Structure 1
Amino acid sequence: MTTFSHISVEDVANFNGDVAIVDIRDPQSYANGHMPNAAPLNNDNFATFIEHTPKDTPVVVVCYHGISSQQAARVIAEQGFNTVYSMDGGFEAWRLAQPVESGLS
């Protein structure tokens, strides 16, 4: 069975090694602020992400509050990725605990 794991904001902040952080929130929310090194992921670029991201790269999926990221993480895991996480609390939890990059800089 293909599955994903949950990961805390703190564990993402302290992650060692390569990791692909994908933000599935709407483009305006992403532009207003996102996690460092996070890339927007949506229906338009999903196939490109799957094709160009090595399957052994850990993937962290971020949404607003950690709910919709679970379904997206499951879909990504089903594409053959070895390690997929849904970040608990989502971007809102990150925003409260960590620095945020603004798209306006």
Structure 2
Amino acid sequence: MTDFQHIAVPDVAAKQASMKIVDIRDRQSFANGHMPDALHLSNDNFAAFLEQTPKDMPVVVVCYHGISSQQAASLISQQGFEEVYSMDGGFEAWKLAQPVVTENT
């Protein structure tokens, strides 16, 4: 049994206002483009994320292609979160169909 679920890009797009999006890609990739309202999640802010995010808030983990997000989603779900998703296809799939935010660094 898995402790997280898979979710498709269109489903995230439809529900993202009620979800916490966490992007685990490297800082430079995140700065170059990420999903709207996504949090860049790293070892540096993981503890703060756990403290500040309600456990009943659905969490969607995003990586490059939807592979490493599965391990991170499993880890987050083990911290007591009720709904944790790994987004299939990752950010690469998102940017083909959805808006992307960039940061000027």
TM norm structure 1: 0.95
TM-aligned CA distance change 1:67 to 1:2, over 3 Å: closer
CA–CA separation in structure 2 for the residues paired with 1:91 and 1:104: 19
Alignment match, 1:57: 57
- Report the Cα distance in structure 2 between the residues aligned to 1:93 and 1:32, rounded to whole angstroms: 16
| Distance across 1 between alignment mates of 2:19 and 2:71 | 19
Corresponding position: 1:46 with 2:46: yes
Aligned pairs, how many?
105
5+ long unaligned stretches in structure 2: none
Unpaired runs of 5+ residues, structure 1, are none
Question: Structure 2 vs 1, CA of residues 16 and 36 (structure 1 numbering), >3 Å: closer, same or farther?
Answer: closer
Q: Matched residues in 2 for 1:57 and 1:13: separation?
A: 16
TM-score, L = length of structure 2: 0.95
| Runs ≥4 residues deviating over 6 A | none
1:71 aligns with 2:65: no
Q: Which residue of 2 aligns with 1:4?
A: 4
1:60 aligns to what SS in structure 2? strand
1:103 and 2:94 aligned:
no
- Cα RMSD (Å): 1.5
Q: Aligned residues: percent identity?
A: 69
Deviations 1:6-40 (A, max 9, x none): 00000000016521000000000000000001010
How far 1:97 moved relative to its partner?
0.9
